Amino acid sequence: MNKSQRIKVISNILNKQYKTTPVPLNHKDPFTLLIAVLLSAQCTDERVNKVTPILFSKADTPKKIINLSEKEIYKIIKPCGLGPQKSKAILGLSKILIRNYKGRVPKDLEKLEELPGVGHKTASVVSNQAFGIPAFPVDTHIHRLSQRWGLTKGKNVLQTEKDLKNSFPEAKWGKLHLQMIYWGRQFCTARSCWGLECKICKSCYPKRKKRFIHKKP
């Protein structure tokens, strides 16, 4: 099976399994999504969704956030991990949004990436899910699956992102990003399947016998 055939198989299976793709992080606007995605770094979505209602009940806009101290933010978000860095970033980006963007989250990817604590993946998620701008954010789940499914040989997430964008239509990037995350959590986890067990792996590589060890980013 060549790559174009694998792409068709993957698309068909994912579309049947996940007809709808709700955003897993609870939010009500671009700012609350930005904060939730920032908090999700090295943390589960489930835990973030438990913490953000507490934070947002106190402050859900940049103007309200800057009325909190870094220590107050830290106490709330501590369960998400990396508390000192994340609390500093939340306070810092809120000040920048007020100073430079009238308290609004910018749509532009490069401007998002300039905000404290916001890397390329976070900016891509916000750009796509908050504003509908085509993007294909790549996290560890997607990087792992892309290698197991023969979609990339990239050693880092940026190369994987480039290969995925070249493989799928732009209009499908956002939905496919979520479908792959769901599949990676449910059927093809980091400590299971190993390229041998889930329906997609078996369909793409029916003759594969040995565990597939992916290159970590």
Question: 121 catalytic, yes or no?
Answer: yes
Length of the chain counted residue by residue: 217
List 139, 162, 163, 215, catalytic entry: 139
Say how far apart CA 19 and CA 22 lie, in whole Å. Answer: 10
Residues whose CB falls within 8 Å of the CB of residue 189, separated by 6 or more in sequence, listed in order:
none
Contact 197, 207 (CB under 8 A): no
Question: 139 catalytic, yes or no?
Answer: yes
Say how far apart CA 172 and CA 191 lie, in whole Å. Answer: 28
**Which contacts of 8-15 are long-range, i.e. CB under 8 A and separated by 24 or more positions?**
9/200, 9/203, 9/204, 10/149, 10/151, 10/200, 10/204, 11/168, 11/172, 11/176, 13/199, 13/200, 13/203, 14/176, 14/179, 14/180, 14/183, 14/200, 15/179
Say how far apart CA 200 and CA 128 lie, in whole Å. Answer: 26
List 3, 78, 107, 121, catalytic entry: 121
Contact 138, 160 (CB under 8 A): yes
Give catalytic residues, as residue numbers: 121, 139
